[in-house]
Amino acid sequence: MSVQNSIKKVNVLLKGIISKLKGGDKRRAAAEVAREYGSGGQRYVAREFNIGRNTLRKGTNEIESGKNIEDRYSARGRKKKTDELPKLEGQIKSILDGQSQTDPKFQTNRLYTKMSIFELQKELIKRFGYTSEELPSLRTLNTITNNMGYTVKSVRKSKPIKKIKETELIFENLNRVHELASENENIIRLSIDAKDKVKIGNFSRGGKSRLNVEAYDHDFGNTYLTPFGIMDVKNKKVDISLGPTKVTADYIVDRIDEYWLMNGYSGTGKTLLLNADNGPENNGRRTQFIKRMIEFSIDHNTPVILAYYPPYHSKYNPIERVWGVLEQHWNGGLLDTGEAVEGYIKTMTYNGIHPKVQVIDKIYETGIKVVDKLMETYEQVIERIAGLEKWFIRISPRECMERLAFTGCFY
């Protein structure tokens, strides 16, 4: 083999080796080759190895100084708007969360909102003092919200079937108290709800398995478990209880009472803001629920605000999003035992956190009511918001104790 052919072969080998190197290693190796070529080496290496002259000069400087230059690839190009405006995503979330609902069929984890991107831009300017020039374009704003898991448009399947005349006023008040809670660390905002009862057995739920498992082709059976959830809306932590009993007013308040004690809120004077739908066991006219919440307020020295979502709009309640994630998590799974149901709930995550799960064995009595005369007394110690009496109720522990003591009524 001639010397010329040998040189060509060496050049091919060098090109292959240097092309596989990255960053500083690549430019220093190329600079070494250029130095060995002597005069005109940089020009030759730049042409043959397809490397820029500036890169070769930088490599030569690193060799001569003995100091490596730090590569900052992340600093290249235009910065994202969310980097320039680090609070933007949190501000978008604070606006959209109160306007968003889950997919009623739980077929996706996305949140649907009735606001348009243009309306969102206007709200950002109004609430946080931006100018339209400071905010990203509508197209970029849409991309940001989409990446956050929101669909910022009206979706036919998510529109409520009906609405009552107070609906808009209820949402105005909800937005107001939610904004107040987000700014005040002494307000604990909890969202509660009971999921549909889960039938226990080898029932086909539309899933597929690699294992040879036979499921019933019917859903007859009388064994159920009902999940009941409590979400701390601020930190997205979730507690879920499971029980074979109906979720009654007493069941609900017992779980809230346990939660308040377990988290160290009792006696601290913190306010409980409770979001719920207006279900039969916890609505604003359910006498046993109101009575128990008054007792809760007095026992723990806790002011309480009951803030309900209007009828046909319960999907806006934040805890509903947990049920959507759970449905996706156990989709098609065989829930043949209580342990299987509990296991699926324990292994799901919401906002990257596993929920706390407990099993309730107690069977709660249904149909408990407070007699009218006694309820008249309880009604005197609570405050119902004028015009929205069923949807917003304030309970003050001090006023309750004073008035109940004055009337001679003790629970």
Burial per residue of 372-404, b for 16 or more beta-carbon CB atoms within 10 angstroms, e otherwise: eeebeebeebbeebeebebbbbbbbbebbbebb
CA distance 145 to 265: 34
Quote the pLDDT of residue 155.
Answer: 44
Quote the pLDDT of residue 406.
Answer: 58
Average pLDDT, integer, range 14-34: 78
For 202-223, what is each residue's pLDDT tens digit?
765 555 444 454 545 554 557 8
CA distance 136 to 145: 12
For 288-313, what is each residue's pLDDT tens digit?
999 999 999 999 999 999 999 999 88
Could you confirm whether domain 167-407 is CATH 3.40.1260.10? no
For 131-155, what is each residue's pLDDT tens digit?
878 888 888 888 888 888 887 765 4
The helix (H) or strand (E) run that includes residue 116 is none
For 226-283, what is each residue's pLDDT tens digit?
999 999 999 999 999 999 999 999 999 999 999 999 999 999 999 999 999 988 999 9
Q: Where in the chain is the domain with CATH 3.30.420.10?
A: 167-407
The rounded mean pLDDT for the chain is 83
pTM confidence score: 0.64
For 36-60, what is each residue's pLDDT tens digit?
777 877 888 788 777 878 887 888 8
